[in-house]
Structure 1
Amino acid sequence: MKVEFTLKRFPINGRLKEQCGLPFSCVMQPYHRLTEKDAVAGDATGVYAEQIARCTQCYSYINCYCAFDTGGWVCSLCNRHNALKPQMQRRYRLDPAVLQSLPEVRCEVFETLAEEPSLVQLPPDAGAVSGPGPVVVALVDTASGEEFLELVRSSLEAALEALPPVTRFALITFSHRLGLHDVRAAHPSVRYVQMYEPAPRSTPGGAVTSAAAAAASSPAVAAPLSEVLPLASLLAPVGAFKGQITRALEEQMVPEEGFGANHDLSHPGAQAHPPPGAPGQESGMSRGAPGQGGAAGGFGPPPASRGLGPALVAVLDYLKVLQAPPFVAHHGMGSAGATSASVVGADHLSQNQSPVKLLLFTSGVPDFGIGRLINPRRRRAVAAAAAAAAARALAPGGHASAPPHPPTGPALPHPGPSAAPGAGAGADVAVDAEADPDAWLHDVPSSSVEFYEQAAAACASLGVCVDLFAVSQGALGLRFLDPLCSSTGGAVYLYPSVDESAMPQDVYLRLSSPSAAVGIIRLRTSPHFKVVRHYGRLFPDPTIPDLHHIIAADPSDAFAVDFDYATPSGFSGVTTSLPPTLQVAFQYTALVAERGPPEHKGDAEANGGGGAAAAGEGRRYWLQRRLRVATYRVMTAATVADVYAHTNPDAVVTLLMHKILRAAEAQGLQEARLLLRDWLVILALNYHRNVHSNLTPQQLSTVPADLHFSQAPLLAPLPRLVYALLRSPLLAPFAEGQHPDLTAFLRHLWSSLPPHELVRAVYPVMQSYTDPDHLAFPRHSLSRAALAGPDAPPIFLLDAYILIMVYYTSRCPPEVPFPPPQQSALRKAVAAIRSERRITPQVKILREGGEDADLFEQLLLDEPDAGEAGGGGGGGFGLVQFLEHVQGEAAMQMKHELAAAAQG
Structure 2
Amino acid sequence: MSDPNQQQLPPGWAAEWDGTHQRYLFIETATGRTQWEPPVLSAELQPMAPTSSPPPSNVHHAKRRQYAAGQTQAYYGTESTLGSGGGYPAPPSQQQQPNQLFTPGLAAENQFQQQQQQQPQLQPGQQQYYGGVQPEPEYINGPQYGQQQQQQMGTLADQFGQMNMGQKGLRLYTTNLLTSPPDPRELHNPPPEIVLPPNSCISPNPSANADPSYQRCTINAIPTSNSLLKKANIPFGLVLTPYRSLKEGDEAVPVVTDTVIARCRRCRTYINPYVQFIDGGNRWRCCMCSLSNEVPQLFDWDQVRNAPGDRWARPELNYGVVEFVAPTEYMARPPQPAVYVFLIDVSHSAIQSGMVATATRTILENLDRLPDEDGRTKVAIIAFDVSLYFFSMPPGTTDSSMLVVSDVEDVFLPKPTDLLVNLAEARASLEALLGRLGDMFKENHIIGSALGPALQAAFQLMSPIGGKIIVLSSSLPSVGAGALKNREDPKILGTTKESGLLQAASPFYKTFAIECSRGQVSVDMFLFSAAYQDVATLACLPHYTAGQTYFYPAFNARTEDARKFAHEFGEVLAQPIMLEAVMRVRASKNLRMSSFHGNFFVRSTDLLAMPAVPQDLSYAIEVQIEDTITAPFVVFQTAVLHTTCYGERRIRVVTTALPTTGNLSEVFASADQVAIATLLANKAVERCITHKLEDSRDALFNKTVEILTAYKASMTAAGAGASAQLAVSENLKMLPVLVLGLLKNVGIRQSSQIPPDLRAYAQALLTSLPAQLLMPYIYPTFYSLHNMSPECGTVGEQGVILPPPLPLSSERLERHGLYLIEDGQTIFLWVGRDAVPQLIADVFNLPNYEVLRGGKTTLPLLENAFSQRVNAIVQKTREMRRGPYWPHLYIVKEDGEPALRLWALSCLIQDRSDVLPSYQQFISQLKDKVNGGNY
Scaled by the length of structure 1, what TM-score is found? 0.68
Match 1:136 to one of 306, 317, 340 = 340
Taking a change above 3 Å as real, the CA distance of residues 882 and 37 of structure 1, as seen in their structure-2 partners, is closer
CA distance, structure 1, for counterparts of residue 596 and residue 740 of structure 2: 25
TM-superposed deviation, 1:466: 1.1
- In structure 2, give the amino acid aligned to 1:858: S
TM-superposed deviation, 1:90: 5.7
* 1:577-613 Cα distance to aligned partner (Å, 9 max, x none): xx21122221111124xxxxxxxxxxxxxxxxxxxxx
Contact 1:183 1:241 (C-alpha < 8 Å) held by counterparts: yes
- After the TM superposition, which residues 149-548 of structure 1 pair with which residues of structure 2 at under 5 Å, given as runs? 149-164=356-371, 166=375, 167-184=377-394, 187-196=399-408, 219-221=409-411, 224-225=412-413, 228-230=414-416, 232-254=417-439, 259-260=444-445, 303-320=446-463, 322-323=464-465, 356-374=467-485, 449-496=506-553, 497-498=555-556, 499-501=559-561, 502-542=564-604, 545-548=605-608
TM-superposed deviation, 1:169: 1.6
- In structure 1, give the amino acid aligned to 2:423: V
Secondary structure of residue in 2 paired with 1:818: helix
* 1:639-673 Cα distance to aligned partner (Å, 9 max, x none): 22222221111100011111111222222111111
CA distance, structure 1, for counterparts of residue 645 and residue 929 of structure 2: 55
- In structure 2, give the amino acid aligned to 1:13: S
CA distance, structure 2, for counterparts of residue 749 and residue 435 of structure 1: 23
Contact 2:339 2:462 (C-alpha < 8 Å) held by counterparts: no
- In structure 2, give the amino acid aligned to 1:3: Q
Match 1:651 to one of 675, 691, 694 = 675
List gaps (5 residues or longer) in structure 2. Answer: 1-209, 793-801, 845-858, 862-866
TM-superposed deviation, 1:6: 0.7
TM-superposed deviation, 1:770: 2.5
Taking a change above 3 Å as real, the CA distance of residues 806 and 25 of structure 1, as seen in their structure-2 partners, is same
Taking a change above 3 Å as real, the CA distance of residues 164 and 631 of structure 1, as seen in their structure-2 partners, is closer
* 1:854-903 Cα distance to aligned partner (Å, 9 max, x none): 3222322222112x3xxxxxxx322221221222222236x99xxxxxxx
1:815 aligns with 2:838: yes
**Aligned match of 2:221:** 9
- In structure 2, give the amino acid aligned to 1:63: N
CA distance, structure 1, for counterparts of residue 677 and residue 504 of structure 2: 36
- In structure 2, give the amino acid aligned to 1:540: V
Taking a change above 3 Å as real, the CA distance of residues 188 and 762 of structure 1, as seen in their structure-2 partners, is same
Secondary structure of residue in 2 paired with 1:757: helix
**Aligned match of 1:65:** 274
1:110 aligns with 2:322: yes
**Aligned match of 2:160:** none
- In structure 1, give the amino acid aligned to 2:364: E
Match 2:291 to one of 42, 57, 80 = 80
Contact 1:220 1:314 (C-alpha < 8 Å) held by counterparts: no
Contact 1:310 1:369 (C-alpha < 8 Å) held by counterparts: yes
Greater Cα shift, 766-775 or 141-150: 766-775
TM-superposed deviation, 1:366: 0.8
Match 2:244 to one of 32, 36, 50 = 32
- In structure 2, give the amino acid aligned to 1:809: G
1:728 aligns with 2:749: no
* 1:750-785 Cα distance to aligned partner (Å, 9 max, x none): 211122321110111101113686649511122111
- After the TM superposition, which residues 783-802 of structure 1 pair with which residues of structure 2 at under 5 Å, given as runs? 783-788=809-814, 794-802=817-825
Taking a change above 3 Å as real, the CA distance of residues 115 and 304 of structure 1, as seen in their structure-2 partners, is farther
CA distance, structure 2, for counterparts of residue 509 and residue 674 of structure 1: 38
CA distance, structure 2, for counterparts of residue 40 and residue 434 of structure 1: 52
Match 2:887 to one of 841, 849, 857 = 841
TM-superposed deviation, 1:818: 2.9
TM-superposed deviation, 1:35: 8.4
Contact 1:108 1:630 (C-alpha < 8 Å) held by counterparts: yes
CA distance, structure 2, for counterparts of residue 486 and residue 132 of structure 1: 22
TM-superposed deviation, 1:251: 2.5
CA distance, structure 2, for counterparts of residue 769 and residue 40 of structure 1: 35
CA distance, structure 2, for counterparts of residue 305 and residue 363 of structure 1: 10
**Aligned match of 1:856:** 904
Match 1:562 to one of 622, 628, 649 = 622
Tell which has more relative contact order, 1 or 2 (C-alpha 8 A, sep 6+): 1
CA distance, structure 2, for counterparts of residue 314 and residue 160 of structure 1: 23
Contact 1:308 1:368 (C-alpha < 8 Å) held by counterparts: yes
- In structure 2, give the amino acid aligned to 1:757: L
- After the TM superposition, which residues 727-806 of structure 1 pair with which residues of structure 2 at under 5 Å, given as runs? 727-736=744-753, 738-770=754-786, 775=792, 777-788=803-814, 794-806=817-829
CA distance, structure 2, for counterparts of residue 33 and residue 188 of structure 1: 37
Secondary structure of residue in 1 paired with 2:648: strand
Scaled by the length of structure 2, what TM-score is found? 0.66
**Aligned match of 1:719:** 736
- In structure 2, give the amino acid aligned to 1:58: C
**Aligned match of 2:641:** 587
Q: How many residues align?
A: 664
CA distance, structure 2, for counterparts of residue 631 and residue 663 of structure 1: 30
CA distance, structure 1, for counterparts of residue 684 and residue 437 of structure 2: 47
Secondary structure of residue in 1 paired with 2:545: coil
TM-superposed deviation, 1:39: 6.1
CA distance, structure 2, for counterparts of residue 40 and residue 504 of structure 1: 28
- In structure 2, give the amino acid aligned to 1:583: Q
- In structure 2, give the amino acid aligned to 1:563: V
Contact 1:371 1:448 (C-alpha < 8 Å) held by counterparts: no
TM-superposed deviation, 1:249: 2.6
Secondary structure of residue in 2 paired with 1:748: helix
Match 2:662 to one of 638, 659, 662 = 638
Root mean square deviation, CA, Å:
3.4
Contact 1:370 1:448 (C-alpha < 8 Å) held by counterparts: no
CA distance, structure 1, for counterparts of residue 302 and residue 625 of structure 2: 36
- In structure 1, give the amino acid aligned to 2:873: A
Taking a change above 3 Å as real, the CA distance of residues 473 and 305 of structure 1, as seen in their structure-2 partners, is closer
- After the TM superposition, which residues 614-625 of structure 1 pair with which residues of structure 2 at under 5 Å, given as runs? 623-625=647-649
Taking a change above 3 Å as real, the CA distance of residues 104 and 443 of structure 1, as seen in their structure-2 partners, is closer
Secondary structure of residue in 2 paired with 1:634: strand
- In structure 2, give the amino acid aligned to 1:646: S
CA distance, structure 1, for counterparts of residue 239 and residue 492 of structure 2: 45
List gaps (5 residues or longer) in structure 1. Answer: 119-129, 197-218, 261-302, 324-354, 379-428, 593-622, 869-875, 897-904
TM-superposed deviation, 1:372: 0.9
Contact 1:474 1:740 (C-alpha < 8 Å) held by counterparts: no
Taking a change above 3 Å as real, the CA distance of residues 368 and 443 of structure 1, as seen in their structure-2 partners, is farther
**Aligned match of 2:161:** none
Taking a change above 3 Å as real, the CA distance of residues 43 and 787 of structure 1, as seen in their structure-2 partners, is same
- In structure 2, give the amino acid aligned to 1:850: G
Contact 1:113 1:626 (C-alpha < 8 Å) held by counterparts: yes
CA distance, structure 1, for counterparts of residue 689 and residue 500 of structure 2: 18
CA distance, structure 1, for counterparts of residue 389 and residue 491 of structure 2: 34
CA distance, structure 2, for counterparts of residue 802 and residue 137 of structure 1: 27
Contact 2:502 2:689 (C-alpha < 8 Å) held by counterparts: no
- In structure 1, give the amino acid aligned to 2:771: P
Q: Alignment identity in percent? A: 23
Taking a change above 3 Å as real, the CA distance of residues 108 and 650 of structure 1, as seen in their structure-2 partners, is same
